[in-house]
Amino acid sequence: MDHLLAMRNYFLLGQGDFIRHLMDLLDADLAKPVKNVYIHNITGVLESAIRATNAQFHNPEVLQRLDVRLLDISVIGDTGWDVFTLDYHAGGPIGTVFTPHCMNSYVRLFTALWRAKRMEFILNKISQSRATYLKWQTRIPEVTPVLHQCHITLAQMVHFVQQMEYYMAFEVMECCWADLLLKISSAQD
């Protein structure tokens, strides 16, 4: 069951404090071009994020299996954000449940969720920098309608991304997770 919880917490972004802290720590490294992103640097960041969040209290065997990797789909102009993914070493008996095909599906899900979370991260950073453009508003009153429209657009984008994340998390994944738990509890040896 610990391995299933690991998939939910890490690949499906269920461990929110860990994911947010990981994004904060990786921001500078993943903003670089792919050729300047080094796996040993981001592996160290992963370990720091684990130690600094509630993830540190999870099963040590599960945490040892958690890793990072860079996807091979890089093209010129890609940054680390485009190729970063989590990895889970599903060796041993657990490999019969988490086959390479299954793990590939989790990586694809993680990539989609990670990109949505990154968009929310970027929009929040833009929203936090709002104080800067409020100064413009006092200096140049003519930009007030434009800045107001920009703020409305930003708010709509944040709302859309949060609604999409909510739908994926609670209307899709949580329902499937509840079904899985029900099937596991009713399974007979």
Mean pLDDT within 15-37: 93
- Distance (Å, whole) CA 81 – CA 135: 31
At residue 76, the pLDDT reads 66
Reference 103, options 86, 116, 79, 119; nearest CA is: 86
What is the percent of the chain with per-residue pLDDT over 90, rounded to a whole number? 63
pLDDT in tens, 56-101: 999 999 999 999 999 886 666 789 999 999 999 988 898 888 999 9
Q: How many domains does the chain have?
A: 1
Farthest-apart Cα atoms in the chain, separation:
73
Looking at the predicted structure, is the pLDDT value of residue 115 above 90? yes
Among the ranges given (17-26, 38-47, 94-103, 132-141), the one the predictor scored with the smallest mean pLDDT? 132-141
Q: Is residue 39 very low, low, confident or very high in pLDDT (cuts 50, 70, 90)?
A: very high
For 67, the domain range is 1-186
Beta bridge partners of 40: none
pLDDT beyond 70 at 3: yes
User: Which pLDDT score is estimated for 147?
Assistant: 84
CB 34 within 8 A of CB 70: yes
The mean predicted confidence, pLDDT, of the chain is 90
Mean pLDDT confidence for 31-47: 93
Give me the CATH number covering residue 131: 1.20.120.1900
144 — pLDDT class (breaks 50, 70, 90): confident
Give pLDDT, residue 153. 94
What's the rounded Cα separation, in Å, for the pair 9 and 7?
A: 6
CA distances from 3 to 14, 87, 94, 97 (A): 13, 13, 8, 10
pLDDT confidence of residue 73: 67
